[in-house]
Structure 1
Amino acid sequence: MPAFIDAPVTDIDTWSFRVSGWVAAAVEGSPVHLEINDRQISPLLFKNQSLAAALPSFGFVRHIVADVNLLDIDRLDGDQLGHQSVSIKLGVGADVASRDLPITETLLRGLSEQLELRAQTKQWCMSRLRCPVCKEPNALQFGDAIVFCSSCAARFPQSVGTIDMLPPELRQKAKLTPATHVSSNPYEELALDLIRRITDAGGWVLDCGAGSRPSRMPRVVNLEIERYFSTDVLALGENLPFQDGVFDGVVSLATLEHVRDPFTCARELVRVVKPGGEVVCSVPFLQPVHGYPDHYYNMTRNGLINLFEDVAAIVDCSTPPNGHPIFAVQWILHEYLDGLPIAQRDRFGRMTIAEVAQLDPFRMLGDGIAADLSEPAKAGIACLNTVRLRRHEKAAPP
């Protein structure tokens, strides 16, 4: 069987779940397709040596993983989910594996609570927004299909659920393209502690770059550049559409590496928090290129401090458990192995960590372990990048 679904295998009892399985085909690079409730999903593909060894007659063998939130991929018809079950289809070429699983009644009943939280958050936001074009507070007029600024006449088309302050012209300026994956990361403990303390006391928190949250938390505004079910406001981090000092706290986790101007974004995060309010912001340092809409910057501790020290008092800067160097070592080695052809991958994979640490990098440049590394892998985990440029013949417009 050239396609198989490993998980899930039981009734769906949570909105967020992981689909995993494997596919095999005769030709390297064969198209893989994953469909959940009639919607195409882009899975992550991983090479797996033991799986390839078990299927020696296939030239293309991949383990697939996709983290999904059913509320992001299914259609809400009013307050009802479009499907009462989950249909999964995984295939390569013409070969397809399928699985149908029911959604538990308990989960379906919980949908009304999520919709009520969404409505409450939207109502709270409406009186605290400002126009992202002219920055004028108290000038926005809200209709069912449009938000209109009475100050600059900017118009923001709306759809059900999410407040959209990201019209096509701002999307184009930020060079945003449609996302092909779901961004979903858990809260780290510092951020979760801030959220609990503030919301338990009746305050509100902005989650900037929230991605897809498994469920809404009361008094937390989820801001994104892509529309997920958990998204409350669509906007750019460098141009937050909120009035000054309206939040009691702000969290932004693994987001600033993906914005084109992290210094402006940092100032915006501080601007929208009340005087004395807290901000928790994490940014990767040694991580390969990843994410949407692009990966622009990694930061040292001092680089992260430098972003904020002119606009806020730094309490501390530390490495959380999910930022431990072991994650960087594993991720970089995985990307390196995945970027090698099979023969060189086997050679490199048999080396011990001690042997790798003692290599002379300059001597290795002529060896296949270095010379045969793919260009995408080089770009994703490069030790150094160099750019060549030429000044415009005419001065660029401001």
Structure 2
Amino acid sequence: MAKTIENLEIEYQLAPTKKQKPNPNELGFGRIFTDHMFMMDYTEGIGWHDPRILPYQPITLDPSAKVLHYGQTVFEGLKAYLSQDDKILLFRPEKNMQRMNRSNDRMCIPPIDEKFALEALKSLLRVEKDWIPKAEGTSLYIRPFIISTEPFLGISPSISYHFMITLSPVGAYYKEGINPVKIAVEGEFVRAVKGGTGDAKTGGNYAASLKAQIAAKNRGYSEVLWLDGREKKYIEEVGSMNVFFKIGGEVVTPALNGSILDGITRNSIIELLKYWNVPVVERQISLEEVIQAYNDGKLEEAFGTGTAAVISPIGEFAWEGKKMIINDGKTGDLSKKLYDTLTGIQTGELPDPFGWRVVVD
């Protein structure tokens, strides 16, 4: 069977046998994948073509494919939920497609048709609806990504690509769940610099973070707090998340500057805070300012935000042999309210005054 969308037909190649569904209470994150995936190809002179839903399977790449040598690739991350009345729900998915095209532009990858990509995702979700877990705190993680496939060792944009979407039933991203995590401030390595690719969602940014992340985990910390790449003075992100600080009743998050990812959860948190009339500001904030606020007793809460964890409260920062214990190492009231509200909107359990929720019909 096939479905026509925007003059393209999605071909369906359904799996003859289905995998056994995992225990929803033992999911972890990103290791289990559904029966099917979406795939579409790009060829110079033709454009994007041959959209198809097919059984989840390995792909074949030429050893000289550019993605393997020059890292020309982008990806996204979002989630699907099942409502109490058994409807598939997405959270601001159009923002993910828009951001993917911004990343495509930075990485010299041909843009996707955002409307078509979203409809392709919905088609895949309809096929895989039974894979969406219903247990509290679980969801179906969605990974759209593009890789360059031209077999050529010259340094230039590829002339061919694969666009794929895979699905993975997941539990909590951090084992701590909504409980506070411990963060080490990174003083040696940097994640990105202004003018680089920090505001694009591309694989190299994450590969560059691994060295510091491993060192932090060996010291008992969940993630690292990244400082700017020029002065190593100003706060940028925490792990793979945006970061917020509640200081003296005001919530502060680093302003987007070209090296910080424009997080969709970040944007949603800012809108929620404004809706509640909680003072919130996007600006440059230094590590020194945060330390001073802590010493003055004004650092009330800190938390990271992102698709995978949604809200991750921070209970401790470590810097130059010293520790800052925030809110007695407990989840703050604002962090908990933000988490409960955002997840409530995402799952359909709370009203959505912003029109963020998208029903896959």
TM-score, normalisation: structure 2: 0.28
Larger RCO, structure (CA 8 Å, separation 6 or more): 2
Q: Which one has a larger percent strand, Structure 1 or Structure 2?
A: 2
